[in-house]
Amino acid sequence: MLDETGGLDEALDMAAQHHSPEVVQGIQRGLAESREIEAIVRALDGRYIVPSSGGDLIRNPKSVPTGRNLHGLNPALVPSAYAFDQARKTAELLIARAVEDTGRFPESIGLVLWGTDNLKTDGEAIGQVFALLGVEPLVDDLGRVHDVRLVPLEELGRPRIDVVATASGIFRDIFANHLELLDRAFRLVAEADEPLDRNFVRKHTLAMAAELEIGFEEAAHRVFSNAAGVYGTNVNFAIENRAWTTEDDLARIFQSRKSFVYGRGIAGREAEQLFERALATVDVTFQNVDSLEMGLTDVDHYTEYLGGMTKAVEHIRGGQPAAYVGDFLMPNGKVRSVAEMVALETRTKTLNPRWFEGMLAHGYEGAREIESHVTNTFGWSATCRAVPAWVYDGVAETYALDAEILARLREANPHAAAGLVGRLLEANTRGYWAPAAPVLEQLKAYYLDLEAAAEG
């Protein structure tokens, strides 16, 4: 958080928007304390380390000083009141953006649930699902979330939006009780006797039950993840290793990994047909981005989840859903399209000399990081067609056609240099980028040379 905002002053300014001056001073004191080394030495001695709740510094000022035994969360308090409040705002922003782009209410949103962002935010993404459905968490006298209730349609002021929740294996393991709570929320909404044009969950559930000739209860499943004990979508590995022929392969890989239902005592029953039929209703996909520091081009996991789901919907429906990300760790968070986010990250990182010079200064690993950004960017072509030509033009000009940079990249990490140029060529052969013929010839020549050097 400190890095992405530029420094301590900005972080403290942000804290001041949420907290009293006394609390902000507490954060400042906590940050100034340095207990890490002392605590590690104590731990190695087998001595007691004082515990504390952790998480995002601004949301939980108690997470400093560090050097204590920080624990992730108390699941009974998720989503917190603050998280649900934020989630409601995000849900409305997302719906408004989708309406602006597509001209109508989304009927169903494919939403990715990860462990990390829900840990950091005390369950904002879980709260977003509730908010889209038009339900509220019910809290007992001790502040524990134990159930949900319907927000009346008049109060909601819009239709209940259906959601297909795709949970990571990590989310499934950490938030097991929330899989049940989410499932309860879907059933509550599906069973509400309301007009079908105001309750898309009920509308889709009735249609699915009729079409697939299954019971209403079966058709109300919306919580999907991997089989028990299994993690990840494998879409990222397929992309990295060129282990796919058509984009439909990526969709099928995603579907086969994620088509296991959870909830009502069911812990991962295979339900391929159900998942496919639920995805067929999706017109918008969405995932929260943890922070600008770990964005769409930094890791391959957003591509494997949000990208994979978007491709699966396209494969099933025949048209690409609108794909969005949300960055709400900042008070002025935003919903952006995947294409906007890829463009933003390309300008601020991949093509920014301050970023790549920093990476090159790190030698082998820095060069690998550059190559990895290019591959992750390519992943947004393969899954969402969200990468315009200027991005590939820029990568080619910056890293391959600039002899000095190419030499430094190659010197630092010959595999990364060959990989980067190879990925540009792959973008061309897969139809995502059509550079001028001389550029293409140049890249091919470099590639042969770099490959030979990397092998030798």
Question: Which position among 11, 55, 114, 427 is part of the footprint of ligand BEZ (CB under 6 A)?
Answer: 114
* Closest to ligand BEZ by CB, 239 or 360: 239
* Closest to ligand BEZ by CB, 236 or 346: 236
Would you tell me how many other CB atoms lie within 10 Å of the CB of residue 430? Answer: 15
Q: Do the Cβ atoms of 76 and 144 come closer than 8 Å?
A: yes
CB within 8 Å of 29: residues ≥ 6 apart:
65
CB within 8 Å of 122: residues ≥ 6 apart:
55, 59, 73, 77, 78, 79, 80, 82, 83
Stretch that binds ligand BEZ, among 36-44, 128-136, 143-151, 163-171 (CB under 6 A): 163-171
CA distance 326 to 92: 12
Question: Which position among 28, 53, 66, 116 is part of the footprint of ligand BEZ (CB under 6 A)?
Answer: 116
Extract the tokens encoding 268: 């991962």
String marking each residue 398-417 x if it binds ligand BEZ according to CB under 6 A? --------------------
State in angstroms the smallest separation of the CB of 252 from ligand BEZ: 20
Stretch that binds ligand BEZ, among 109-117, 133-141, 177-185, 418-426 (CB under 6 A): 109-117
* Closest to ligand BEZ by CB, 79 or 115: 115
CA distance 32 to 295: 28
Question: Which position among 84, 130, 171, 175 is part of the footprint of ligand BEZ (CB under 6 A)?
Answer: 171
CA distance 208 to 190: 12
Stretch that binds ligand BEZ, among 111-119, 219-227, 264-272, 407-415 (CB under 6 A): 111-119
Question: Which position among 81, 170, 196, 330 is part of the footprint of ligand BEZ (CB under 6 A)?
Answer: 170
* Closest to ligand BEZ by CB, 326 or 435: 326
For residue 48, give Cα distances in angstroms to 51, 163, 359: 9, 45, 39
Q: Do the Cβ atoms of 178 and 139 come closer than 8 Å?
A: no
Written as one letter, the residue type at 262 is Y
Q: Do the Cβ atoms of 274 and 221 come closer than 8 Å?
A: yes
Extract the tokens encoding 95: 């719906």
- The terminus-to-terminus CA distance of the chain in angstroms comes to 42
Residue that is written with structure tokens 């290019």 in the block: 374
State in angstroms the smallest separation of the CB of 322 from ligand BEZ: 23
Beta-bridge mates of residue 70? 52
| 273-302 binders of ligand BEZ (CB under 6 A) | 301
Q: Does 234 sit near ligand BEZ (CB under 6 A)?
A: no
Stretch that binds ligand BEZ, among 108-116, 146-154, 218-226, 344-352 (CB under 6 A): 108-116
User: Residue 290 class from Cβ within 10 Å (0-12 exposed, 13-18 middle, 19+ buried)?
Assistant: buried
Task: Give the DSSP letter of residue 160.
Answer: B
Residue that is written with structure tokens 């002025």 in the block: 332
**In a 3-state reduction of DSSP, which class is residue 90?**
helix
CA distance 32 to 330: 22
Q: Is the peptide bond before 438 cis (omega within 30 degrees of 0)?
A: no
How many residues bind to ligand BEZ according to rule CB under 6 A?
7
Q: Does 54 sit near ligand BEZ (CB under 6 A)?
A: no
State in angstroms the smallest separation of the CB of 120 from ligand BEZ: 9
Q: Does 168 sit near ligand BEZ (CB under 6 A)?
A: yes
| 297-326 binders of ligand BEZ (CB under 6 A) | 301
Stretch that binds ligand BEZ, among 13-21, 82-90, 112-120, 272-280 (CB under 6 A): 112-120
State in angstroms the smallest separation of the CB of 314 from ligand BEZ: 22
* Closest to ligand BEZ by CB, 72 or 333: 72
Stretch that binds ligand BEZ, among 82-90, 120-128, 164-172, 215-223 (CB under 6 A): 164-172
Stretch that binds ligand BEZ, among 5-13, 165-173, 252-260, 322-330 (CB under 6 A): 165-173
Q: Which residues bind ligand BEZ (CB under 6 A)?
A: 114-116, 168, 170-171, 301
